[in-house]
Amino acid sequence: MNRLQAEARIRELHAVIRHHDYLYYVKDRPEIQDSAYDRLFAELKQLEAGFPDLVTPDSPTQRVGGVALDQFPKVAHAAPMLSLDSAQAETALRRFDERVRKGLGVASVDYVVEPKLDGASVELVYEDGVLARASTRGDGAMGEGITENVRTIAAVPLRLRESGLKPPGLLALRGEVIMRVDAFERLNEGLLAAGKNPFANPRNAAAGSLRQLDPQVTAARPLDIYVYDLLSGEGAALSTQWDVLSALEAWGLRVNDLPRQVNSVEEIVEYQRELESRRDDLEYEIDGVVVKLNDLTARKVLGVTSHHPRWAFAFKFAPRKEITRVVEIVPSVGRTGVITPGAILRPVKLGGVTVSRANLHNREEVARKDIREGDLVRVERAGDVIPQVVERVEEPGRKRAKRFRMPDRCPSCGSGLIERGPFTICSNSYRCPAQLAGRLEHFASRDALDIDGLGEETAILLVGEGLVHQLPDLFEIVPNDLMRLEGFAAKSAASLVNAIDTACRVELHRFLYGLGIPEVGVTVAKALAKHFQSFDNLRQATNEELEAIEGVGPKMAQHIGLFFLDKRNSAVLANLVGKVKLLEVAMDSGAALAGIRFVFTGGMDKLSRREAKQLAESLGAKVTSSVSRETGYVVVGTDPGSKYDKAIELGVEILTEQEFVQLMRQRGAEV
């Protein structure tokens, strides 16, 4: 290929890859298989290696390129990045609305209401459609240049789309870099497992990840962004905030799907209540709603104070942070043998949920925060994350208890303990009842066999009462065994046995995840199932074969190998595999409903939620919990919840249970 041809092909590849990045990261709706994408990417890399002078900064290969810095450069913002006037009280919101209407001399105004995202505010500057700079808010006038770090966020386009509306030559935008709650939890698990300090909440994790001097570190952090404001954009010809949001979307930026147009305080209050009630269902943290005057010209009339614009207001939720007292610190043994100190708290309400215990993680965390029995502490809850003890509250003059010490023996089985880094571990993996109960609970959990009615308490009971000595025993339980146990009656016993029966038929990836192989989470389990197709293939895999799979590193490959080599494991596994029926799932994008998103709401007659979910997934569909513009179908049963209303609002196609079954049949599923 000559230079001219290479240049043309490179340009073509840029456009194609950019388009697929957009579908995957911004729209969550990929259209090609990962392998096809990888081939395009590899082709581009190869061409660029042959013609290094044809590498441009907006090339998809140039996301993680920067070298580690000594410090961040100072950057002046295109327009001041103001903060928002905010309050929790409805009276303050009413005063804001009155000031706005009085200032404009009108009886009523249009507002746009949006979720107030709890992340780190950034400015993005695009020059001629190409990302030129990104910076933190700083003092509002000057921020820190974090361009290289922001480039690593896959949802940030390096070049804007020009479909329809052409972006102006100079465009300064404001948005919020966030970390989704599940990604945050995984990051913290990883940090803790590596003996490092976890982040207190997703906001700190997002801000901390953005302010890494080495872009490689940022690139490894699961960051996302929502863009919500135009700081400056001469010639964009936009007259309302609603237009701004549509323009941002058209330019290929990620825009939140919850904003709404309203024109009264009542509607604002209703929106805030609605979001507050959905707060725990969202995948990211929000701490209130932002109310913005829709008309951009009217905004200029109102102007700004030294700190905040007079045309916007943050109507916040009640905080989820509270102060309470630690009654006791109790060590408990998890499924991997790690002993975790837990704080038993004087019950306290945190954003609608009563909290009475919190995880203190490990002996070093307890020491670092210096938490002792009887102390007053600040507790916080992020998303549906387990509550955290953030810090101790000083009480001058109060006599404190002794420092907490880990026990010398396992509180469950009495074996001696070993210390590994910050962790304390019971090494009696095969006999310790607490570890077995933990494994059983995990085996039955939602992403594994999903056995309704088999949670922590029941798992402890089944092990404690001698019904389960090892996992396969679960499948031998009959209703009569259960009826002897406290808390079981004929009906509940029958329904648990029934649930266990149904769970026997299980997809390979769920089964693998349920085994609790060290380091193997849902994503890796799926990758393993997809690659090896059968349990036997996986069991015989060599380290090299394992490492060839995306997401599996040498350490994980070693863990997997050791897990299958262990003699005691193999005996249990052979027995277990005989008791379940492993199903294969079509997970490739050639499947009939590949990538289509389903949401279920309300009760169903013929199918259980689990069966319906499995059916949809067997055809390649994705089942998610909240309705958005990306949702393909909402399946509505009896007594549907707010998801139904949302589907109507967004015009998402609605199916009854019967219609759903019909669709599944049409697409080739056996129902």
Task: Name the one residue in this structure whose structure tokens are 């061409």.
Answer: 47
- The neighbour count for residue 42, using CB atoms within 10 Å, is 10
Active-site residue, 116 included: yes
| Strand spans (E) along 334-387 | 339-350, 353-359, 376-380
Considering the complex, state which of residue 312 and residue 461 has its C-beta at the smaller distance from ligand IVH. 312
Task: Give the range of 28-36, 234-242, 308-316, 467-475 binding ligand IVH by CB under 6 A.
Answer: 308-316
Backbone angles phi, psi at 347, to 5 degrees: -55, 140
How remote is the C-alpha of 134 from its chain's centroid? 24
Q: Which is nearer to ligand IVH, 276 or 473 (CB)?
A: 276
Check: CB of residue 186 under 8 Å from CB of residue 193: no
Q: Which amino acid is at 163?
A: S
Question: Under the criterion CB under 6 A, does residue 463 sit at the interface with ligand IVH?
Answer: no
Residue 254 in the binding site for ligand IVH (CB under 6 A): no
Closer to ligand IVH by CB, 215 or 259: give it: 259
**Torsion angle, CA of 303/307/310/314, rounded to 10 degrees?**
150
Smallest gap from residue 91 Cβ to ligand IVH (A): 20
* Per CB under 6 A, 255 contacts ligand IVH: no
Please identify, using beta-carbon distances, which residue of 64 and 231 lies nearer to ligand IVH. 231
Task: Please choose, from the candidates 365, 368, 349, 337, the residue with its C-alpha nearest in 3D space to the C-alpha of residue 437.
Answer: 337
Dihedral (CA of 97, 103, 107, 112) sign: negative
Contact, 88 vs 299, CB < 8 A? no
Q: Is 512 in the site for ligand IVH (CB under 6 A)?
A: no
CA 90 to CA 412: how far, in whole Å?
51
**Residue (608 or 626) nearer to ligand IVH, CB:** 626
Size of the site for ligand IVH (CB under 6 A): 16
> Could you say which residues in the range 32-61 bind ligand IVH, by CB under 6 A?
none
CB of 217 to ligand IVH, least distance (A): 23
User: Cβ 117 to ligand IVH, closest distance in Å?
Assistant: 4
Cβ at position 312, least distance to ligand IVH in Å: 5
- Enumerate residues 73-132 that contact ligand IVH by CB under 6 A: 82-84, 114, 116-117, 121
Cβ pair 630, 28 in contact under 8 A: yes
Residue closer to ligand IVH (CB basis): 286 or 576: 286
Tell me if 138 contacts ligand IVH by CB under 6 A: no
Residue nearest ligand IVH, CB atom distance: 121
C-alpha dihedral, 102 to 103 to 105 to 109, nearest 10°: -80
Q: Residue 646 is which amino acid? A: K
Please identify, using beta-carbon distances, which residue of 309 and 387 lies nearer to ligand IVH: 309
DSSP reduced 3-state for 622: strand
Report the chain's terminal Cα–Cα distance, integer Å.
53
Q: Single out the catalytic residue among 116, 292, 526, 622.
A: 116
Using CA atoms, how far residue 554 sits from 515, 547, 559, in Å, is: 20, 6, 9
> In terms of CB distance, is 174 or 526 closer to ligand IVH?
174
Collapsing DSSP states into helix, strand and coil, what is residue 580?
Answer: coil
Nearest to 159 by CA among 353, 55, 310, 15: 15
Residue with tokens 């045309």: 311
In angstroms, how far apart are the furthest CA atoms of the chain? 81
What is the separation of C-alpha 118 from the centre of its chain, rounded to a whole number of angstroms? 14
**Residue 618 engages ligand IVH in binding (rule: CB under 6 A):** no
Least separation in angstroms between CB 136 and ligand IVH: 10
HSE (side-chain half, CA atoms, 13 Å) at 88: 6
Q: Examine residue 215 and tell whether it contacts ligand IVH (CB under 6 A).
A: no
299 binds ligand IVH (CB under 6 A): no
Report 549-608 residues binding ligand IVH (CB under 6 A): none
Nearest to 290, CA basis, from 344, 228, 246: 228
Q: How far is the CB of 226 from ligand IVH (least distance, A)?
A: 7
CB 426 within 8 A of CB 333: yes
The distance of closest approach from Cβ of residue 82 to ligand IVH in the complex, given in angstroms and rounded to an integer, is: 4
Residue with tokens 């995948």: 283
Is 313 a binding residue for ligand IVH by CB under 6 A? The answer is: no
The rounded distance, in Å, linking the Cα atoms of 348 and 325 is 9
Q: Is 203 in the site for ligand IVH (CB under 6 A)?
A: no
Kindly tell me which of 97 and 176 has the beta carbon lying closer to ligand IVH: 176
Beta strands at 597-601 and 312-316: parallel, antiparallel or unpaired = unpaired
Instruction: Please tell me whether residue 312 binds ligand IVH under the rule CB under 6 A.
Output: yes
Name the residue nearer to ligand IVH (CB basis): 120 or 576: 120
Are 390 and 412 within 8 A, CB to CB?
Answer: no
Note whether 62 binds ligand IVH by CB under 6 A: no
* Residue window 165-184: x/- pattern of binding to ligand IVH, with contact defined by CB under 6 A: ---------x-x--------
Residue 429 near residue 501, CB atoms below 8 Å:
no
Two structure tokens written together for 589 = 């994008």
CB 174 within 8 A of CB 229: yes
| Shortest Å, Cβ 157 to ligand IVH | 19
**Which residue reads 């961040």 in tokens?**
72
CB of 442 to ligand IVH, least distance (A): 36
Q: Which is nearer to ligand IVH, 61 or 240 (CB)?
A: 240
Distance CA 521, CA 301 (A): 54
Closest CB to ligand IVH among residues 288, 438: 288
If one asks whether residue 206 binds ligand IVH (CB under 6 A), the answer comes out as: no
284 binds ligand IVH (CB under 6 A): no
Between residue 359 and residue 388, which ones bind ligand IVH under the rule CB under 6 A?
none
Binding mask 229-248 for ligand IVH (x = CB under 6 A): x-------------------
Of 458, 426, 424, 429, nearest in space to 441 by CA: 458
Rounded to a whole number of angstroms, the minimum distance from the CB of residue 131 to ligand IVH is 19
Rounded to the nearest whole angstrom, what is the least distance from the CB of residue 130 to ligand IVH in the complex?
24
b/e map 221-237, b = 16+ CB within 10 Å: bbbbbbbbbbbebeebe
Dihedrals phi, psi of 374, to nearest 5 degrees: 90, -15
Q: Any contact of residue 144 with ligand IVH (CB under 6 A)?
A: no
Single residue of 230, 314, 500, 529 touching ligand IVH by CB under 6 A: 314
CB 507, min distance to ligand IVH, A: 38
3-class state of residue 457 by DSSP: helix
Q: Residues in the site for ligand IVH, rule: CB under 6 A?
A: 82-84, 114, 116-117, 121, 137, 174, 176, 228-229, 290, 309, 312, 314
Q: Which residues are catalytic?
A: 116
